[in-house]
Amino acid sequence: MRCVPFIFSSVSHWSLRATRHYSSNKLEFHVPVMHKEVLAMFQPQTNQKFLDLTFGAGGHTRKLLNSASNITVYTLDRDPLAYELAIQLASKTLYGQVTPLLGKFSDLPELLPVSEAYNFFDGILIDCGCSSMQYDTRERGFSLSKNGPLDMRMDQNRLENQPSAKDILANIDEDSLCRILKVYGEEKQAKKIARAIIEARYLFKSLQTTHELAQLIESTCGLSARTDKLQRPSHVATKTFQALRILVNDELNELDFAVRFAHRALKIGGKLVAITFHSLEDRIVKEHLHELDCSPGTSEDIYKTYGRQLNRLVPLPQMKQQQWQSINKHVLVPSVEEVNENPRSRSAKLRAAYYTLSIDRMNERRYSHQAPENTNIFWQALMHTDSSYEKLTSQT
């Protein structure tokens, strides 16, 4: 019998309100990023099975369900709000056609039975980053334009001892914060911003809201015009918010795990489609699909390459046998029409590939059903009251 994960019961008042809002007003009309390109890559056929990482508002899942008859989609999301929406969608479809899963990418070995985690799916979609629901809900603390608590946890309060962005800024040392802003935010003024945050903590109080952090960075760096890599206007605090969000949610390790999990979960000839929204995400996907990590490996190896979050991404091992064959020769980007209709899609990049590992090689691979422990050193610090960031970060 298929195992269905628990329903998150202690959903806050604003979360219930947001669920009703999106289920009644937006879910049916939500247009997912690059959905035409996704369907063109997958070319869904009758009776095929897909894994949607992550569900969000369900746009990609709906497109897949409507693309052919008897399509089955397993939907994963770490956000309890998105999980509730997936349950609503499952109740409106045929039994077993939609299977909602609540958890992170690295929880997949525990959420899926062994028979469904190995050589099972015809296609896996990885849609990185935050959902529009998370950005639009001020209480989540993802958007610097909407004042709310400095939270940024995609899991809400589901995970015990998971620090929020506020917790990290209240405890982290200046050198570690500077490294985070440089590596995860690619922020050129990382040192100046890190110093301002630490000084504010000691001179005044810990930062509590998104507007407090944004205003502090404005006063530190000024309001000089900034543009991103696509020459779009950008707020001076944007890169800091990105860096904190990546750290809080361990996003790069989770993405790396997802692509490695696809090695095992896809059928031979199955397709992986990945949509990324910044260079750090795209680099991980690109290195997997083009530099080809083909070592047999064990579950212990999954986090070896990115064992510590702040280590620079290193080249993957030389290929021993080709695992992936690219479907699109060059990376795909949204059309001009889509960008005009949905500005949040502007930085999206899509890469797709067939899984081509031979059956003999597949049978030789060892697989553990236990997900690796969290390697986020700042989580470790916050879970131990006598720990010091300096001691932990000196190990990296």
Residue 96, SS3 per DSSP = coil
Quick one: pLDDT at residue 188?
Answer: 92
Residue 61 in any domain: the answer is yes
Cα separation of 15 and 9, whole Å?
Answer: 11
Burial class (CB in 10 A: 0-12, 13-18, 19+), 177: buried
Does any domain span residue 7? no
Domain boundary among 214, 247, 280: 247
Q: Residue 255: which domain range?
A: 13-133+251-364
Residues 40 and 150 both lie in one domain: no
Residues 159 and 119 in one domain: no
Percent of residues, the chain, with pLDDT higher than 90: 54
Is 382 a member of any domain? no
Question: Residue 139: inside a domain, yes or no?
Answer: no
| Same domain assignment for residues 257 and 240 | no
Which of 247, 270, 289 represents a domain boundary (last residue)? 247
Q: Are residues 257 and 184 in the same domain?
A: no
> Same domain for 278 and 318?
yes
Determine, yes or no, domain membership for 370.
no
Burial category of 359 from C-beta neighbours within 10 Å (exposed 0-12, middle 13-18, buried 19 and up): exposed
Would you say residue 32 lies in a domain?
Answer: yes
Amino acid at the residue 59: G
145-154, 232-241, 275-284: lowest mean pLDDT where? Answer: 232-241
Same domain, 81 and 172: no
pLDDT tens, position by position, 76-116: 999 999 999 999 999 999 889 999 999 999 999 999 998 88
Report yes or no: 349 and 276 within 8 Å, Cβ to Cβ: yes
Residues 160 and 189 reside in one and the same domain: yes
Name the residue with tokens 């369907």: 39
Has residue 376 been placed in a domain? no
Assess whether 87 and 45 both reside in one domain. yes
Q: Say if residue 371's pLDDT is above 70.
A: no
Show contacts of 62-65: CB within 8 Å, 24+ apart. 62/30, 62/89, 63/32, 63/35, 63/38, 63/39, 64/39, 65/93, 65/97, 65/98
50 in Cβ contact with 73 (< 8 Å): yes
Residue 395 in any domain: the answer is: no
Q: What are phi and psi of 270, to 5 degrees?
A: -65, 160
| Higher per-residue confidence, 158 vs 193 | 193
Say if residue 123 is in the same domain as residue 256.
yes
pLDDT higher than threshold 70 for residue 73: yes
CA–CA gap between residue 117 and residue 132 (Å, rounded): 29
Residue range 327-346: mean pLDDT, rounded = 90
The 10s digit of each residue's pLDDT in 187-245 is 999 999 999 999 999 887 789 999 999 999 999 988 665 665 556 667 899 999 999 99
Give the model's pLDDT for residue 16: 47
**In the predicted structure, residue 132 carries a pLDDT above the cut 80:** no
pLDDT score for 228: 57
Instruction: Tell me: pLDDT of 362 over 60.
Output: no
**Cα angle 244, 250, 255; round to 5:** 120
Q: What CATH number has the domain bearing residue 105?
A: 3.40.50.150
Region 291-307: mean pLDDT is: 44
Grade residue 305 by pLDDT with cuts at 50, 70 and 90: very low
Look at residue 342 in the predicted model and tell me its pLDDT. 87
Domain boundary pick from 194, 225, 247: 247
When divided into structural domains, the chain yields a total of 2
Same domain, 60 and 80: yes
Residue 28 shares a structural domain with residue 119: yes
Looking at the structure, tell me whether residues 33 and 48 fall in a common domain.
yes
| CATH number assigned to the domain comprising residue 187 | 1.10.150.170
